[in-house]
Amino acid sequence: MDTIDQKYAPLSAADCFQEALLVTVGASKLFRVYSNPGKSPVLFVFHHGAGYSALSAACLARELREQGGGQYGFLSFDCRAHGASQVESEDSGPPDLSLSTLANDLVDLLKTIYPDKTLAPAFVLVGHSMGGAVVTEACAGIQTHVGKVLGLVILDVVEGSALSALISMMPLINSRPSSFSS
């Protein structure tokens, strides 16, 4: 029988992703990217919700790899002001977390990783909460500048009045630690 400490010990994402990279985009953006390469030319791209990180998709990445027999690739990244990503602000104010900025970050990240559109995989964009709004907004730009989008998977998306309330997420985001010792 598990002890209380064992039962509630933090899980490791080490077996969920094969790669953990820092990808430089332009002169002032550094994004933490976790990925699993796949055998087919299809890549699932996950965007997390506000206050979360790329690791919120860790179990999903592992299950997709195991259930899909390693056929499909998976990429998850920490968006600006989240996790291990570092984006320099143009001024000393709070980070720009507008929908258009987050969508442009996603397009720019994928353009950096896949600079040749003819060699880019086909993308399935997956977004949770705020990430659902971001992948929806980024879809056209990805198709124009990066590669083909096969589909969108939107989980518990924020919409309407919830989008305008995202500014109130800043205190929550600022109060969360960027990492944990576990």
**Cα 35 vs. chain centroid, distance in angstroms?**
10
Per residue in 4-18, pLDDT (tens digit) is: 777 777 778 889 999
Per residue in 18-65, pLDDT (tens digit) is: 999 999 999 999 999 999 999 999 999 999 999 999 999 999 999 999
**Cα 173 vs. chain centroid, distance in angstroms?**
16
The H or E element containing residue 96 is none
In a domain, 24, yes or no: yes
In a domain, 32, yes or no: yes
User: Judging by beta carbons within 10 Å of its beta carbon (0-12, 13-18, 19+), is residue 49 exposed, middle or buried?
Assistant: buried
Give residue 59's pLDDT: 95
The 10 Å Cβ neighbour count of residue 71 is: 12
pTM of the prediction?
A: 0.84
In a domain, 5, yes or no: no
Single-letter code of the amino acid located at 101: T
Per residue in 93-152, pLDDT (tens digit) is: 888 999 999 999 999 999 999 999 999 999 999 999 999 999 999 999 999 999 999 999
Residue 162 has pLDDT above 80, yes or no: no
Give residue 49's pLDDT: 95
Residue 178 has pLDDT above 90, yes or no: no
Query: Greater confidence, 69 or 160?
Result: 69
User: Judging by beta carbons within 10 Å of its beta carbon (0-12, 13-18, 19+), is residue 161 exposed, middle or buried?
Assistant: exposed
Q: What is the domain-level CATH number for residue 46?
A: 3.40.50.1820
Give residue 173's pLDDT: 64
Q: How many domains does the chain have?
A: 1
In a domain, 8, yes or no: no
Alpha-carbon span 125 to 141, nearest angstrom: 12
Domain with 48 in it: 20-88+95-175
